[in-house]
Amino acid sequence: MEQQTAPSSSPIPWHPAFVQALKLELEQYQDALEFTSEYQLNAEPLEIDLVIVKKTPELLIEKNIARIFKQVNILEYKSPEDYFSVYDFYKVLSYAYLYAALNKTDTRDMTVSIIETRYPRELFTYLGKEQNCCVSMTSAGIYVVSGYPVAIQVIESKKLLFEENLWLKGLSNDLSAAVAGAILEESRKRERVAELGAYIHAILRANKKTIWEVFKMAEGTLPLDEMMTELMEEFGLTAKWEKRGEARGEARGKKNGWEEAIGLLKQGYTLDQLEQMSPGGTPNPAS
């Protein structure tokens, strides 16, 4: 599948989406876990992507991505456009040790989780050949690294099964229609489209063509006006359709033009067709 990138120059906000994905993956334990994103280690700009602390240390978590968890859990995330290097590995370890020092935490009560999209071949080769560490796969996409005082796991999100880790697997710029459809359907069932703003925004910007195809295949059964709004914004159509409403002399002007655009999208018109329509013109039949 051809990689899909956002049309705008601004970076996709993957990290807020990652935090929401972890909360969804572990929602069964939400009352027993405390989530702190962008945890600041000191006055300098050193921040851990996510710290998850068990409120009850002896709690056992059965979720595959968190079976390794102890009392304090440091998580570092790399976006789909980035990769995790050997130097990144030691930076994350230093974060863990600095956290332990500042919070007087025993490293034996801590874990480090590294989440990235692709297989970290360079890192695993280095750990095996240069550090004599053992890297073992415990389940699809999850690898445990032994040989350090801190328990470490690496999660290759692309290899996770969407039946088990839908939200983490969805953090991709190369979503399949099956995974995208499952995310949209699960969001619809839980009425969480608006609540998951950061997550939905990130995957939409990175996979807008796939998301659009899934919406078309759903034949309007997915009531995702928020998603359509995001698509319209990404294609720069918001202002154009507001002007269309004004040009048609409708009573509510801008709002009517906007509602017309959303209605046409749900009828099967493509974003390209909306782009080609003149402000005062009549749309051609959807193909």
* Confidence at residue 232, expressed as pLDDT on a 0 to 100 scale: 66
pLDDT of residue 250: 53
Instruction: Check residue 246 and give its pLDDT.
Output: 65
In angstroms, the CA 154 to CA 113 distance is: 6
Among the listed residues 80, 70, 50, the one whose alpha carbon sits nearest the alpha carbon of residue 173:
80
* Per-residue model confidence (pLDDT) at position 133: 93
Pair type for strands 110-116 and 151-156: parallel
Residue 29's closest CA among 63, 65, 57, 73? 63
pLDDT score for 198 = 83
Instruction: Report pLDDT for 183.
Output: 87
- Dihedrals phi, psi of 137, to nearest 5 degrees: -85, 120
Instruction: Please state the domain extents for the chain.
Output: 14-159, 175-276
pLDDT tens for the chain, 287 residues: list them: 545 544 556 888 999 999 999 999 999 999 999 999 988 877 667 899 999 999 998 999 999 999 999 999 999 999 999 999 999 999 999 999 999 999 999 999 999 999 999 999 999 999 999 999 999 999 999 999 999 999 999 999 999 999 999 999 999 999 999 998 888 888 777 666 667 778 888 888 898 888 877 776 765 555 455 666 666 666 666 667 666 666 655 544 455 666 777 677 667 676 667 667 655 555 554 44
> Can you give the pLDDT at residue 248?
59
Contacts of 253 (CB under 8 A, 6+ apart): 242, 245, 246
Q: What is the strand order of the sheet 142-146 is part of?
A: 33-40, 47-54, 72-77, 110-116, 151-156, 142-146, 134-139
Strand ranges, E, within 147-228: 151-156
Query: For 14-159, CATH number?
Result: 3.40.1350
pLDDT of residue 6: 46
